[in-house]
Structure 1
């Protein structure tokens, strides 16, 4: 018992109060994250859309998310973390209800586009705020705890949404909107603006000079973003094509909810132990293993036909997800200059949104024209390629991270010396990434 208490204290102790308010908002928001989990089933079964039309709607959600993360990243640096978060959450709650009430395909598509824009605009601000309030030595713990909250909420939401859908799909949209509003109220009431703590009053209303050029010429960072894009194309099939595949196997929406909830349950049980497991190990090796395991898990779906087999595939790719998340988050934090936290976070989130826009469309097209087996075995192949790429590109990423941890030794002119002096002095602090489920 003493060992358990010591482990719990080491895992949760010493984190700032502002982090715990953000953590609480994350948990509440994810407890009501009903819509995206069941959107594919809602569109095909309740609304009668084809798999391609459903993929298009979910893809437009991703397109909106791409716009949202780009705009949100800029507003996070210019306007501030707190107002960006509040605006995004309020807009998302409004559009959630609008999407639930929409009937024609064009209205549903437009609602998904706008909802994706508002919902994903919050990501860069949230990520930057997390890094602002958590010291560098505690970030691995903080990211793991936040990811744990995401999946605790997701596991509960997946099960509850399956039963709520039987009472009426509109209830999913109403509950999701309500929890989003509660999150906005928590941020408004308990979390202060954090940007001034890292930017300083002299740059409070100014954009860093050459910000876009800095990011676009940062080949190490963009290479990592590209690898995440391909991994996300595989991972997000669990939202779009997996529920359709399970439906074709004669399984109900409630069964899908229970199976996908295994993902959250496994993460809730094991995620807090992952930081100790991977501490001191090569992040590139961990990321490569994560991509490989995730690819194998999705590849096994090609042979699934019963609920237990689908559950097994979910458990396999969840292990890869658990390994990927903390290494991803800490690496992005170390690759991002402090003055550009919002923008770097936005660009990294953009990879998830691009995947969110293209994964359901590509998945639907491959499934319709090449078959279910080709889709899932193709996911396994992509996972293997990403794993090899992580091994090859890892040393360059670690060298860049080491350079940015040493302000006195500029990394590359395009990433440090072209920023104003007050900002360059802060280049050691950097931004995180949340592979949330879409939002993940």
Structure 2
């Protein structure tokens, strides 16, 4: 066989191994995610918009971003319950349509009170889609394919994020209102795909799960009694708190160092570019390793990247730190997602996904509020070195908790 034919066959084999055999419903969800994230300018640009266009202080901007996360915390719990009770599809449709309307409202809002309320509601409605989306993915993708499916989805999210981070500054320069209007338009795309192309997955009846008692109508109390899973959620809060600094305190630190918003967008876009280039190779790299060990290594790398930010003073140095913590993110995401799926009883996937999403919302609230306070009163060095310490503690705890989590996952598989 000629070399170019062997190379072509090798590429086809890799594509088949990476993306082949996944159900059509998954690909509709994947396409909607890609388009929606490519227009997701608001979260990327919100801190800069609030401080430069609305002239909010760092504390006020941190409060608004914290309210977005607080709304998300409420929304993920509502969304998780709704996904299990009324279904994945209606929950997703309501969330996307509501988010679209709130984004249009934010485009014309003025003043701290109005923007704060609308941002809270936007976080609530938009984040209520997360548990239903994740639960539907687990419903339609067999367990053997979930590592690939979660990796492909995360890849799509970051393709979109790279586009959004690169283009948001240019769009805002033309007209700041466009960052909200374009985001609203791309939020309609997954709404339409779900409306016309996706049917509700088959519902699964509740059953007793490992050592967690589940009644005929399981509620959040059953999730809260699952100590193994709740421990995993609390560890994710620590890692997410460190990671979420890139949306809140990092742009403020870079602005203080004289780096303009357009360069911030390019630096942070490196996160998406690296994930786009390398994420699809991660499943082959980590599939033979214990998930908790991978999560521990990921936490250490994330901590290293953010810790080095304490010494950054130029766009180039900041870019290096972004590349480092991005490697940790690439290792963390698929292992985290597959472990959540393994620990989630089939009839309660919405609630379990909602509880895990809550950890991101809690971190999203704490990151700008607590991180902003530390940054303002104690300085950047304390903030970034503190992030490194938090990540190191999380890494040690991941190793300690790993065996119990794998025993729980094995018990659920056996059922």
Residue 401 of structure 1 deviates from its aligned partner by 0.6
Q: Which residue of 2 aligns with 1:47?
A: 54
Q: Which residue of 1 aligns with 2:4?
A: none
Q: Which residue of 2 aligns with 1:388?
A: 396
Q: Which residue of 1 aligns with 2:212?
A: none
> Aligned match of 1:240 in 248, 253, 257?
248
In structure 2, C-alpha distance between the alignment counterparts of 1:6 and 1:210, rounded to whole Å: 43
> Aligned match of 1:148 in 144, 152, 155?
155
Q: Secondary structure at the match of 1:15?
A: coil
| 1:3-61 deviation line (CA, Å, top 9, x unaligned) | 12211111111000111000000001001010110100111111111111100000000
Determine whether 1:8 maps to 2:15: yes
In structure 2, C-alpha distance between the alignment counterparts of 1:109 and 1:214, rounded to whole Å: 33
Query: 8 Å contact 2:218–2:348 — kept in the other structure?
Result: no
Query: 8 Å contact 2:155–2:275 — kept in the other structure?
Result: yes
TM-score, normalised with respect to structure 1 = 0.90
What 5-or-longer segments of structure 2 have no aligned partner? 1-6, 207-214
| 1:277-328 deviation line (CA, Å, top 9, x unaligned) | 0011011110000000000101111111111111100000000000000100
Residue 182 of structure 1 deviates from its aligned partner by 1.4
In structure 2, C-alpha distance between the alignment counterparts of 1:287 and 1:88, rounded to whole Å: 31
Aligned residues: 400
| 1:372-406 deviation line (CA, Å, top 9, x unaligned) | 11111110010100000001111111111111111
What 5-or-longer segments of structure 1 have no aligned partner? 201-206, 408-440
> Aligned match of 1:71 in 78, 81, 99?
78
In structure 2, C-alpha distance between the alignment counterparts of 1:8 and 1:405, rounded to whole Å: 28
In structure 2, C-alpha distance between the alignment counterparts of 1:69 and 1:5, rounded to whole Å: 39
> Aligned match of 1:303 in 311, 315, 320?
311
Residue 104 of structure 1 deviates from its aligned partner by 1.0
Residue 208 of structure 1 deviates from its aligned partner by 4.4
Q: Which residue of 1 aligns with 2:227?
A: 219
Q: Secondary structure at the match of 2:128?
A: helix
Q: Which residue of 2 aligns with 1:426?
A: none
TM-score, normalised with respect to structure 2 = 0.95
Determine whether 1:173 maps to 2:180: yes
Q: Secondary structure at the match of 2:259?
A: coil
In structure 2, C-alpha distance between the alignment counterparts of 1:158 and 1:50, rounded to whole Å: 22
Q: Which residue of 1 aligns with 2:110?
A: 103
Determine whether 1:262 maps to 2:270: yes
Determine whether 1:228 maps to 2:236: yes
Q: Which residue of 1 aligns with 2:210?
A: none
Residue 199 of structure 1 deviates from its aligned partner by 4.3
User: How large is the RMSD of aligned CA atoms in angstroms?
Assistant: 1.1
Determine whether 1:288 maps to 2:296: yes
